[in-house]
Amino acid sequence: MNVTFLGTGTSQGVPVIGCQCDTCASEDKRDTRLRCSVHVQVDDTSIVIDTGPDFRYQMLRANVTSLDVVLITHEHNDHIIGIDDIRSFNFLQRKDMPLFATNKVINELKQRFNYVFGDSQYPGIPRVVTHTITPNKAFEINGVRIQPIQVMHGKLPVQGFRIGDFTYVTDANFVDEAARELIRGSQVFVINALRFKEHHSHFNVDQAVALAKELGVRQTYITHISHHMGKIEDWQSKLPEGVFSAVDGLSLAIESA
């Protein structure tokens, strides 16, 4: 399995429009972060988790030329609003795109993208086939087992995903015991950590590190990082052993245990 971080930033990305802080002005490419998304390649199956506003550029930058399925974590715009560019894969692959999300998220997609799901369709629009996720209930795509993991982002349910020994959780500040058991034993665990200070709907760094330590994962990568974290050169070396900052473009080869 190969995992590529397509974006590791918050809803505004880094740099933030109009901001002149040290992070936003940094010349270190690691401090430039698109909105959160990952690409997972398992043998011949190509999977993307979330289609945010940078989706088109992320696909070009990572040279993703085929895509079998899209998984959506939740309905916030920084995770769905690039869905229109799925149509490029429709044209290339001459088929509709399978999209997996909870019923709540699918209903939100139908409202925001009425032209995709409505009755008055026209040539050239994205073509998707929706599949409803049941929280914490596994399903398969081309023989690849996908394990949804429901976490909470404030009061909003969000789906994390475990694929083999890789687990991806973004936009969360609460993980219940059932979800923890689904994560436990992962080789690589990706978890959001917005900043060092506490936040009302995201983990901060200390909370994310504590969760990873409790679950005993081998490697942890923090993502959904805001400009409030500061420049990566000032804080990455302070992370405990086995915990790293994800950066845009980073690729990980994960072998089955």
Domain ranges of the chain: 2-248
Judge whether 256 and 3 are in contact, CB under 8 Å.
no
Q: How far apart are CA 14 and CA 221, in angstroms?
A: 18
pLDDT tens for the chain, 257 residues: list them.
999 999 999 999 999 999 999 999 999 999 999 999 999 999 999 999 999 999 999 999 999 999 999 999 999 999 999 999 999 999 999 999 999 999 999 999 999 999 999 887 888 999 999 999 999 999 999 999 999 999 999 999 999 999 999 999 999 999 999 999 999 999 999 999 999 999 999 999 999 999 999 999 999 999 999 999 999 999 999 999 999 999 999 999 998 76
Q: How far apart are CA 193 and CA 206, in angstroms?
A: 8
Look at residues 177, 144, 173 and name the one whose alpha carbon lies nearest to residue 161.
144
Distances (CA, A) of 226 to 31, 52, 238, 239: 10, 16, 17, 16
Tell me the backbone φ, ψ of residue 104, rounded to 5 degrees: -60, -45
Strand 69-71 to 45-49 pairing: parallel
Q: How far apart are CA 147 and CA 103, in angstroms?
A: 16
Angle (CA) 71-160-221 rounded to 5° is 110
Q: Cβ-count burial of 235 within 10 angstroms (0-12 exposed, 13-18 middle, 19+ buried)?
A: middle
**Length reported for the chain:** 257
- What is the CATH number assigned to the segment(s) 2-248? 3.60.15.10
DSSP calls for 140-179: EETTEEEEEEEEEETTEEEEEEEETTEEEE-S-SB--HHH
Per-residue HEC secondary structure of 12-64 comes to: CCECCCCCCCCCCCCCCHHHCECECEEEEEECCEEEEECCCCCHHHHHHHCCC
pTM of the complete model beyond 0.85: yes
So what's the pLDDT on residue 118? 85
3-class SS at 248?
Answer: coil
Strand 2-7 to 37-42 pairing: antiparallel
